[in-house]
Structure 1
Amino acid sequence: GIEVFSTETTHRGDEVFVHDLFLSDARALCYRGIWFTKQHRMEFKVELNATYVVPEVAPTLKKWQCLEADGRTSLFLLRHTKNIDFKFMSCMRLFVLGHE
């Protein structure tokens, strides 16, 4: 686990930004609750609509095949090698950048 000390008052649910040289994307995903140990392959679906994606960002998401024409996406989180698909991480980063 990570223990954080702060000089400011924090409340449950507050975001805390931490610089950790050993913090990986996989560790962050596990910390956020995405943890699939029972299956070696899982399809991850996100339904997006106009309230989620900034309209100007949608063409970029479509260009990189993160967003389908109908506003949905479907990615394989884990491939048969039990590694997180590189496209999943890239698309998640684009979704964060494109979120209002």
Structure 2
Amino acid sequence: MAKKAARKRRALAAEGERQQATPALDKIAALLGLLVVKDMEADDASIRLGNVGFSDRDIAALIGVTEGYVRLARFRAKKKGGRKPRKKKAA
């Protein structure tokens, strides 16, 4: 039991250290995201940043649009060139 408790304490301590470093890493990620989408339209930028893993809220803050706009741009892209509609099965 003591080994398990010690392992848990070490894991919690490591997680606390990661949380302290997160704001700096978030700033770096935001700067890199801005460099990538510098000369793009807002629709293309929101799609590219979303594919990389940024949240809708982060994307909206980076490119200066609303979260709803980001969701709509992603929906349009999926509808335009994403999945093809299913064919109905013959009955």
Q: Same fold (TM over 0.5)?
A: no
| TM-score using structure 1 length | 0.24
Structure label with greater radius of gyration? 2
Structure with greater proportional helix content: 2
What TM-score do you get using the length of structure 2 for normalisation? Answer: 0.26
1 or 2, which has the higher strand percentage?
1
